[in-house]
Amino acid sequence: MDMEGLETIDVMQKLAIPLPVVVISDLLGVPSKDRAMIKTWSDIIFLPFAKETYDDINAQKAQVMKEFYEYLYPIVLEKRKNPADDIISDLTKAELEGEQLTDEEVVMSSIGLLGAGNETTTTFISNAFYSMLFDQPGIYQELRADLSLVPKLLEEVLRFRFPSVMDRRITQDTAVFGHEMKQGQMIMAWVGAADRDEAQFAHGDEFDAHRPNNQQHLAFGSGPHFCLGAPLARMEARIALSSFVKRFADIGAVEGFEVTDHLTDSALGQSLKSLPIRLA
């Protein structure tokens, strides 16, 4: 991720895209030469659906799942025979009440982990740069003066720029705020809206890295399905941003930057596909 001597970089290509895939591939123990392929597969698995392209996207996802599965299966067999110090090996050894995961279950869990940490963490890191440039201009110099502000800035990015949406199937008839919900129905909860709730966050529509309670957001969910990778995502973003801030005296927006030219139609709703910035 060499940025030395460059005046302008695309933060996505230089940092936000490569870092999460390098980290998660190494943790799982898959060969580093395959990272680009893993990134391509994960992106397709997480492609958002649209009515017009539903069949095409579904077919792409099915094809990629098949390729991903066939790629990982021999790796899992090999690691079960000769375990190494990595997560796939740990999954092959894991035991609960005398039962182990089957090879198929280890493959599916590994696909889940390789995919889950990619796009989300990329969005997290790129949104942090966007926020430093446009949501709270001037904060970069504060970070340079006091690196302990980095984790607080990152929590505010998660609160302010992570509009999580979660789907759930209703297991029994109920009513929430007067809205009836029937068993078997699907609901989409716009959890991100809670992160702007004025009762919880004063001036919730304003970005403020100094906000005292900004870590009380729901970007990683809540309850039994709370994000397994939250500590990893936080650590990756903290190390990436602290190292960057220490190395570069300042950052700036490139002339004529229009955010609408740089957005994906990601399921997350607010994802950048590129973010050019000036380095000083």
In a 13 Å sphere around the CA of 190, the CA atoms on its Cβ side amount to 4
* Token pair 């060499």: residue: 2
Minimum CB distance to ligand HEM smaller for 112 or for 184: 112
Among 113, 133, 150, 209, which residue sits at the site for ligand HEM (rule: CB under 6 A)?
Answer: 113
Residue 220 near ligand HEM by CB under 6 A: yes
List binders of ligand HEM among 65-84 (CB under 6 A).
Answer: none
Which one of 44, 57, 108, 166 is in contact with ligand HEM (CB under 6 A)?
166
For ligand HEM, the binding residue among 139, 233, 245, 279 (CB under 6 A) is: 233
Letters for 167-206 (x = contact with ligand HEM by CB under 6 A, - = none) are ----------------------------------------
Total residues in contact with ligand HEM, by rule CB under 6 A: 20
Which member of 151, 192, 204, 229 binds ligand HEM (CB under 6 A)? 229
Q: Measured from the CB atom, is 141 or 222 closer to ligand HEM?
A: 222
- The residues near 134 (Cβ < 8 Å, ≥ 6 apart) are 253, 259
Contacts of residue 5, Cβ cutoff 8 Å, sequence gap at least 6? none
Strand intervals (E) in the chain: 8-10, 95-96, 99-100, 166-169, 174-176, 179-181, 186-189, 251-253, 276-279
271 binds ligand HEM (CB under 6 A): no
Residue choice 232, 251, 253, 263 for contact with ligand HEM (CB under 6 A): 232
Q: Which residue's structure tokens are 């066939």? A: 70
Smallest separation, CB 278 to ligand HEM (Å): 26
Rg (CA), the chain: 21
Among 92, 117, 130, 204, interactor with ligand HEM by CB under 6 A: 117
Contact by Cβ (8 Å): 45, 61: yes
* Contact call for residue 241 and ligand HEM (CB under 6 A): no
Q: Could you say whether residue 225 binds ligand HEM (CB under 6 A)?
A: yes
**Interface residue with ligand HEM, options 25, 42, 89, 120 (CB under 6 A):** 120
Nearer to ligand HEM, 126 or 279 (CB): 126
Site membership for ligand HEM, residue 137 (CB under 6 A):
no
Please give the Cα distance from 107 to 26 (Å, whole number): 16
Which runs of consecutive H residues, i.e. helices, occur in 212-268?
230-247
Give burial (CB, 10 Å; 0-12/13-18/19+) of 195: buried
Among 3, 94, 228, 235, binds ligand HEM (CB under 6 A): 228
Residue spans of alpha helices (H) in the chain: 11, 18-28, 35-45, 54-81, 87-93, 103-116, 118-130, 139-145, 150-160, 191-194, 230-247
227 binds ligand HEM (CB under 6 A): yes
Rounded CA gap, 211 and 188, in Å? 28
C-alpha–C-alpha distance, residues 266 and 259, integer Å: 14
**What type of residue is 228?**
L
List contacts with ligand HEM (CB under 6 A): 24, 112-113, 116-117, 120-121, 124, 162, 164, 166, 219-221, 225, 227-229, 232-233
